[in-house]
């Protein structure tokens, strides 16, 4: 049976400075949330690394080399967008992977945090508040995304796909897009209170179509006009365009640079604010 | 320490808490006793500043919950009705991550977590995954978690609901320890035995309003007799028998399955029943409890 009393009392006030606790939580609450989720990720770190390294490798070999042979044979020396198909494809694949990871984590993590393992309510019982939960959750997702992006970029550098420095630039671009997608998914999922199968709609009817119609596997301009708008609203297209400019110097006018970055920042900021509003309402019972 | 005046919470047309007043002093064990849906949990959430009040005044540890949620929760230990543990993490890690939410340094949190596992009698389970724990163990872990920040007051929402009798007693023993050390305990319960065991003072709540306030023994003295005679005549005959024993004791309550006769001397009441030629199927004399207080005040039982 238990005996020891904790430093002069189990709940003895005085050993913890509660005013300092409140100050630190007001400033760093988002980080404590991220820390919690990162700690939870440690239990599947091995499989994450294997998937992180294995899947870009398979995709690049399968699509880039296999399909690339066919495409390059048909395109002759001009390639696609002026470069071999593998180089054209790689940045968009990296971005598509980041989008998928972010959307999945935000779908099931956010729904689960309210419903399956209602951790958001437990967090809300500590000094931190809803905005911290929203931000911290996204930071943890970005850490996960970063791990797979780094793996992807390493494979690209290893196989000398594009400019190595440009490949490194894919990291910040991917993170920006993953944040925008993450907050967007979160802002919708947070409003869902029952799982009636609608959660998988995001994957099937948003992520997959966006991947197919965002100029991932072929330049957006080759799509008929009636479908090109999908690319314009797709965070993936904006990020892929930035990635291509970074990796092999695809032409990018300054105005378009602003449009691509601005679109991602705006999408992320607006849906972040919406997420915070929804979290605040849902946690204030 | 915690003071409410005219505290109200409204959800649309539904009034969950209807203008209640109470004051909780440091070091006391204060209870909200009432049936499910009486507004107890809502009141707890308003105290913890996780539910915004509709109107009224509320001061918690010197702060207004509306503007100073973090300052209030920094000083509170919260044990919610649903444990809300992270089932993916190990027992010890649940305490560590929670401690970090208070910004406490990792080495301190780790040391404190070990001490609290000892207190919660979970040291042997420290590396176990939470989903493998029994209900009582999860509850004790939740209480340990609530203590990580050395709170000035613990808010316990239905601390033993859903636990078997043995697990409840282990839990009560732990809460007693806290009480002895001077931790302020604020708890809600719909178990009158729990309220009698743990609370120095309590309010009886029904439909969002406070119907009585006092220590368990004072409430029993005020609203009930010292003893109660419980007699059963069979469900079809209870009402008729109740008419025939009218006048015995100070008050009679007819429940569907039994008749309660309130008298300071239960044995004498029983003799009087026999004198009137009635032979109950079963009879029992017991001391009055908070259940009787609730029945007297609301005409209903606590657990329906």
List C-alpha distances in Å: A52 to A56, A98, A175, B64, B72.
Answer: 7, 11, 15, 48, 43
pLDDT value at A4 more than 60: no
Contact B147, B119 (CB under 8 A): yes
Reported as a single tens digit per residue, the pLDDT across A91-137 is: 999 999 999 999 999 999 999 999 998 999 999 999 999 999 999 99
Total count of domains within chain A: 1
Task: Answer yes or no: do A21 and B86 touch at CB < 8 A.
Answer: no
Report the 10 Å Cβ neighbour count for A78. 9
Arithmetic mean of pLDDT, A165-193: 97
Percent of chain A clearing pLDDT 70 (strictly above): 95
Task: Answer yes or no: do A2 and B121 touch at CB < 8 A.
Answer: yes
Reported as a single tens digit per residue, the pLDDT across A205-225 is: 888 888 888 888 888 888 888
User: Domain range spanning residue A109?
Assistant: 17-283
Specify the pairing of strand B2-11 against strand B55-60. Answer: antiparallel
Q: Could you report the predicted ipTM of this complex, rounded to two decimals? A: 0.88
Q: How far, in Å, CA of A197 to CA of B205, rounded?
A: 41
Average pLDDT in chain A: 88
* Contacts A–B by Cβ distance under 8 A: 144
Reported as a single tens digit per residue, the pLDDT across A22-60 is: 999 999 999 999 999 998 887 777 777 777 777 777 877
Structure-block tokens of residue A87:
């180089």
Residue A9 covered by a domain: no
Choose among A11, A19, A21: nearest Cβ to B147: A11
Model confidence at B112, pLDDT cuts 50, 70, 90, reads very high
For residue A44, the chain B residue with the least C-alpha distance is B88
Q: Domain limits of chain B?
A: 2-215, 225-287
List C-alpha distances in Å: B8 to A238, B273, B297.
Answer: 50, 47, 21
Q: What is the CATH number of domain B225-287?
A: 3.30.70
Model confidence at B304, pLDDT cuts 50, 70, 90, reads low
Task: Answer yes or no: do B104 and A125 touch at CB < 8 A.
Answer: no
Determine phi and psi for A266, rounding to 5 degrees: -65, -45
Model confidence at B138, pLDDT cuts 50, 70, 90, reads very high
Reported as a single tens digit per residue, the pLDDT across B267-290 is: 999 988 888 888 889 999 999 999
Task: Answer yes or no: do A283 and B112 touch at CB < 8 A.
Answer: no
Residue A164 covered by a domain: yes
Choose among B102, B112, B121: nearest Cβ to A126: B102
List C-alpha distances in Å: B6 to A210, B18, B20, B55, B249.
Answer: 54, 8, 5, 7, 38
Percent of chain A clearing pLDDT 90 (strictly above): 59
Task: Answer yes or no: do A32 and B116 touch at CB < 8 A.
Answer: no
| Residue given tokens 């991220």 in the structure block | A34
* Chain A residue numbers touching B88 (CB-CB < 8 A): 40, 43, 117
Q: Give the CATH superfamily of B2-215.
A: P-loop containing nucleotide triphosphate hydrolases (3.40.50.300)
pLDDT at position A235, please?
A: 96
pLDDT value at A1 more than 50: no
């Amino acid at each position: 049976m238990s005996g020891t009393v904790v430093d002069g009392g189990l709940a003895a006030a005085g050993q913890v400075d509660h005013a300092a606790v409140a100050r630190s939580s007001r400033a760093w609450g988002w980080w404590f949330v991220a820390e919690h989720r990162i700690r939870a990720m440690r239990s599947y770190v091995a499989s994450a690394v294997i998937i992180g390294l294995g899947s870009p490798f398979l995709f690049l070999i399968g699509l880039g080399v296999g399909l690339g042979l066919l495409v390059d044979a048909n395109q002759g020396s001009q390639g696609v967008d002026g470069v071999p198909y593998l180089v054209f494809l790689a940045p968009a694949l990296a971005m598509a992977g980041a989008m998928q990871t972010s959307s999945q984590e935000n779908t099931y993590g956010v729904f689960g945090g309210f419903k399956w393992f209602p951790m958001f309510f437990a967090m809300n019982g500590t000094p931190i508040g809803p905005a911290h939960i929203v931000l911290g959750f996204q930071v943890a997702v970005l850490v996960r995304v970063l791990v797979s992006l780094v793996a992807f970029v390493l494979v690209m550098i290893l196989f000398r796909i594009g400019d190595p420095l440009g490949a490194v630039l894919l990291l910040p671009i991917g993170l920006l897009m993953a944040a925008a997608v993450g907050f967007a998914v979160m802002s919708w999922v947070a409003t869902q209170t029952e799982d009636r199968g609608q959660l998988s709609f995001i994957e099937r009817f948003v992520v997959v179509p966006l991947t197919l119609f965002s100029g991932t596997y072929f330049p957006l301009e080759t799509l008929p006009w009636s479908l090109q708008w999908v690319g314009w609203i797709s965070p993936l297209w904006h990020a892929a365009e930035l990635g291509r400019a970074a990796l092999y110097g695809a032409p990018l006018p300054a105005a378009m640079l602003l449009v691509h970055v601005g679109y991602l920042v705006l999408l992320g900021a607006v849906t972040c604010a919406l997420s915070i509003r929804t979290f605040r309402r849902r946690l204030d019972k | 320490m915690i003071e409410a005046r005219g505290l109200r919470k409204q959800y649309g047309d539904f009034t969950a808490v209807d203008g209640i007043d109470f004051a909780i002093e440091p070091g006391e064990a204060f209870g909200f006793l009432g049936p499910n849906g009486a507004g107890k949990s809502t009141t707890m959430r308003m105290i913890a500043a996780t539910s915004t009040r509709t109107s009224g005044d509320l001061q918690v540890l010197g702060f207004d919950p509306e503007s100073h949620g973090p300052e209030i929760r920094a000083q509170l230990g919260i044990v919610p009705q649903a444990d809300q543990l992270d089932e993916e993490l190990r027992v010890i890690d649940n305490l560590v991550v929670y401690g970090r939410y208070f910004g406490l340094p990792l080495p301190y949190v780790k040391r404190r977590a070990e001490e609290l596992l000892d207190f919660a009698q979970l040291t042997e389970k420290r590396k176990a995954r939470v989903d493998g724990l029994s209900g009582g163990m999860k509850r004790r872990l939740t209480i340990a978690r609530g203590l990580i920040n050395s709170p000035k007051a613990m808010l316990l929402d239905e601390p033993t609901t859903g636990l078997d009798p043995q697990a409840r007693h282990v839990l009560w023993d732990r809460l007693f320890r806290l009480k002895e050390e001077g931790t302020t305990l604020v708890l809600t319960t719909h178990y009158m035995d729990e309220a009698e065991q743990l609370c120095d003072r309590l309010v009886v709540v029904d439909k969002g309003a406070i119907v009585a306030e006092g220590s368990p023994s004072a409430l029993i003295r005020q609203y009930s007799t010292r003893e109660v005679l419980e007699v059963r005549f069979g469900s079809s005959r209870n009402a008729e028998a109740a008419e025939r024993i009218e006048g015995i004791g100070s008050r009679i309550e007819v429940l569907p399955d039994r008749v309660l006769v309130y008298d300071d001397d239960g044995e004498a009441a029983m003799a009087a029943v026999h004198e009137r030629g009635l032979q109950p199927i079963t009879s029992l004399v017991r001391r009055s409890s908070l259940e009787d207080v609730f029945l007297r005040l609301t005409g209903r039982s606590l657990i329906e």
